[in-house]
Amino acid sequence: MRAYEKRPIARTDLDAILEAARWTGSAKNRQDWSFIVIQDPEQLERVAGCGDFTDPIRNSAATIVIVAEPGGYEFDSGRLAQNIMLAASALGVVSCPITLHRQQDAEQVLGVGDGRTCRYAIALGYPAPGAAPSKFGGRKPLDELVHWERY
C-alpha cells in the first residue's frame, strides 16, 4: 500500500511492530541487524532521495530502515522485513517495502558506518481513505506454484 493518512502511527503500534521485528529468526540467532525509525518529514525526504520509486517513504507516517550489522545476511533482512510488514498489518498499519538503490548515500544520510549497510526500508502508515491496494496485489493459485517430488 502506498497511500497513507496524514497522521502519526501510535507509539503503542510502532512499539509492537518493532517488538515483532526483534523476535525475527536469524542465522545462528545472531540477530545481525538494527533499525532506524524515521518520522521527521525532512529526514524522510532525505532518505527517499537515496532510492528510486520512493514516494511511499515521502508519504509515510514512519519508515523503518533495516541496518545490516557486519556479518549479517540479506536473507535475514528479508525475514525481518516480512515480520515488520505482517505485524503492521495485524495492527491496521499498511506498509510498502523499499530498496535504497544508492546505498552509500543512505548510509551517509543515516550516519551508518563501520561495516554496516542499509539497503532496505519499510514505509508505514494508516491506510488513506479509499486507497486501493497495490496493482501488484493478489496471489497465484497454489497449483501454479507447487511441484511435488520434481519440477
Q: What is the pLDDT of residues 40-68, one digit of tens each?
A: 999 999 999 999 999 999 999 999 999 99
Would you state the cell numbers that stand for residue 138, as one nine-digit string?
A: 493478489
pLDDT average, residue stretch 6-11: 95
3-state helix, strand, coil in the chain (%, to 5): 40, 20, 40
The yes-or-no verdict on residue 7 having pLDDT over 90 is yes
At 53 the pLDDT is: 95
Phi-psi region of 69 (alpha: psi -120 to 50; beta: other; left: phi over 0): beta
What stretch of H or E contains 70?
A: none
Decide: 140 and 19 in contact? Cβ < 8 Å.
no
The yes-or-no verdict on residue 137 having pLDDT over 80 is no
Kindly indicate the confidence band of residue 138, based on its pLDDT and cuts at 50, 70 and 90.
confident
At 131 the pLDDT is: 74
At 130 the pLDDT is: 79
At 133 the pLDDT is: 64
Would you state the cell numbers that stand for residue 124, as one nine-digit string?
A: 508505514
User: What single letter denotes the amino acid at residue 90?
Assistant: A
Domain boundaries, the chain: 11-145
State how far the Cα of 43 lies from the Cα of 49, in Å rounded to an integer.
Answer: 10
At 136 the pLDDT is: 59
Q: What is the pLDDT of residues 63-118, one digit of tens each?
A: 999 999 999 999 999 999 999 999 999 999 999 999 999 999 999 999 998 999 99
Phi-psi region of 28 (alpha: psi -120 to 50; beta: other; left: phi over 0): left
127 SS3 class: strand
Angle between helices 103-110 and 41-48 (to 10 degrees): 160
What stretch of H or E contains 2?
A: none
Q: What is the pLDDT of residues 13-37, one digit of tens each?
A: 999 999 999 999 999 999 999 999 9
Domain 11-145 in this protein, CATH class? alpha beta
